[in-house]
Structure 1
Amino acid sequence: MTPPLVSVIIPARDESGNLPSLLEEIAVALATIDHEVLIVDDASHDDSWALLLARAAEDHRLRPLRHAQSAGQSTSVWQAAQLARGTWLATLDGDGQNDPADLPSLIERACQGDVTLVAGHRITRHDDWLKRLSSRIANAVRARLLRDDTPDTGCGIKVIQRDAFLRLPYFNHMHRFLPALVLAQGGRCVSLPVNHRPRGAGRSHYGLNNRLWAGLIDMAGVMWLRRRSCLPAVIEEYRPASLTSTTEEQGNEP
């Protein structure tokens, strides 16, 4: 089977009220782009798994995955990336606030070949005041300390090279720091404005304690990782003269 260009990865917990419409929107948005969709049911208590199994029986592009116990958003994305087959990974939140209609423009920018990651930038936010405040503080502190040149690293919609993602260090909450981690590996990131919508159904699993304070602690860890990294480093490979000559002769054959 030929690998698709894009693997869409969606971590979801108790999002059965949002997943059907989200899947339909993805199908419309990527109708002309070869893709697959991996949704990780992170130990939902609703009927998300039954819904995904029923949809997968009718759509070969949908690949449901499930955690018996909740492992969180970063672990869900990281494990799905191991199983994904696409050249590019496109991430979306399962709450429906990211608009799949933005995916084609992010994918088109990514495929120009000069970037590792394309991040969405939510110009207009549709969240409650606490979520907006905590994000504003975290983004300001992160931009000053990590200098990742990304105005909205918390936006769930991103497109990243799969090979580059798999080289990143794994840790819980790593999804919030992808631009900084990519830059530490010598990659390049750009941001594009994207739509942001009110949550369709259910409730957010994030609050002040697991968003702002946890993010600030994790930021210190990312600073340490970047400080201790020696990448990118130029490396030369020794090639015996006989091998080099053979290669050159093969290239000159008519």
Structure 2
Amino acid sequence: MDYQFTIIVPLYNEEENLLRVEKELGNYLQKAPVRSCVLFVNDGSTDNSLQLVEEISARNKDFKFISFQENRGLSAAIKAGFDYAETPLIGYIDSDLQTDPEDFDLLLEHIGEYDLVTGLRANRKDSFKKNMSSLIANGIRRSFTHDGMDDTGCPLKVIKADYAKRIPMFKGLHRFLPAMILLQKGKIKQVPVRHYPRIAGKAKFHLLNRLVGPFVDCFAYLWMKSNYINYTVNRKNE
């Protein structure tokens, strides 16, 4: 198939959500503005998730999957999605569907001019503790990266593949995708999107890894920024 857009769906123990993911993303693929496919990345789930994604992929020609031998974390799952996608555009959505696949259209409207377009969760439907920890974590990250983004944790993004595949991912770097595009001299934009409460499964992040993890990762980002290799070839022989 001549796909233009791959939607990465990283997942870890999300068996309660996957049939809903199949339905919602299947509906979206039928009306997406560009020819699109779905790539599940099973992050070493210990429940029935792998069997479900195998079954979903078997009965839907536009759904594919890869599966880790063991749990490696969200950044690794996103990195694998970037590596295995074969389209010029790559998207990302969480398997809990707290964001709406149809809002990819809002991001795709701007991807021609920008190299990464990320959602900004409007009227977040999370708990007060989760919202506050995210607000603090985003403030810490923004003070280090100066990326101007208010909600890098929003699980709805569209990235040009040539930029995505050049990101040197490390654990926790999924929080710094806009900043990593800026290091490549790319252009970024945030667009308000809808947000819904989680209705099945369990959240994988808690107060500690929403605050301590991002703070520590900021120093890793600063090291990477100071050592990042970025070049442009303007002449070569034919």
| TM-score, reference length from structure 1 | 0.88
Question: Contact (CA 8 Å) 1:29, 1:104: kept in 2 or not?
Answer: no
Question: Secondary structure of 2:216's match?
Answer: helix
Cα deviation code 1:146-186 (max 9, x no counterpart) = 11011111111000011111111120111110000100111
SS in 2 for 1:71: coil
Do the aligned residues in 2 keep the contact of 1:19 with 1:96 (CA within 8 Å)? no
Contact 1:6 1:36 in 2 (8 A): yes
Q: Is the 8 A contact 1:120 1:157 kept in 2?
A: yes
Cα deviation for residue 85 of structure 1 reads 1.5
Paired position in structure 2 for 1:222: 221
User: Alpha carbon RMSD of aligned pairs, Å?
Assistant: 1.6
**Mapped partners of 1:78, 1:71: distance in 2:** 11
Rg larger for: 1
Whether 1:121 aligns to 2:135 is no
AA in 2 matched with 1:224 = W
Deviation at 1:108, TM superposition (A): 2.4
Asked if the contact 1:173/1:218 (under 8 Å) is kept, the reply is yes
Which residue of the partner structure matches residue 162 of structure 1?
Answer: 161
* Greater mean deviation of Cα atoms: 43-52 or 154-163: 43-52
- Greater displacement, 31-40 / 178-187: 31-40
2:130 is paired with a residue whose SS is: helix
Could you tell me how far apart the structure 1 residues matched to 2:228 and 2:162 are?
A: 19
Which residue of the partner structure matches residue 86 of structure 1? Answer: 87
What pairs with 1:50-69 in structure 2 (closer than 5 Å)? 50-69=51-70
Q: Give the superposition deviation at 1:235.
A: 4.2
3-state secondary structure, aligned to 1:141: helix
Q: CA deviation at 1:94?
A: 1.3
Shift of 1:6: 0.5
Partners of 1:40 and 1:238 in 2: CA distance: 38
**Equivalence map 1:1-254=2 (5 Å):** 1-2=1-2, 4-32=3-31, 33-110=34-111, 113-229=112-228, 231=230, 233-239=231-237
Q: Which runs of 5+ in 2 are unaligned?
A: none
Deviation at 1:7, TM superposition (A): 0.3
Kindly state the Cα deviation for residue 217 of structure 1 after the two structures are TM-superposed.
Answer: 0.5
Q: Which runs of 5+ in 1 are unaligned?
A: 244-254
Q: Is the 1:106–1:118 Cα contact (8 Å) retained in structure 2?
A: yes
Identity between Structure 1 and Structure 2 (%) = 32
Give me the whole-angstrom Cα distance separating, in 2, the residues matched to 1:74 and 1:50: 23
Structure-2 separation of matches of 1:230 and 1:49:
37
> TM-score scaled by structure 2?
0.93
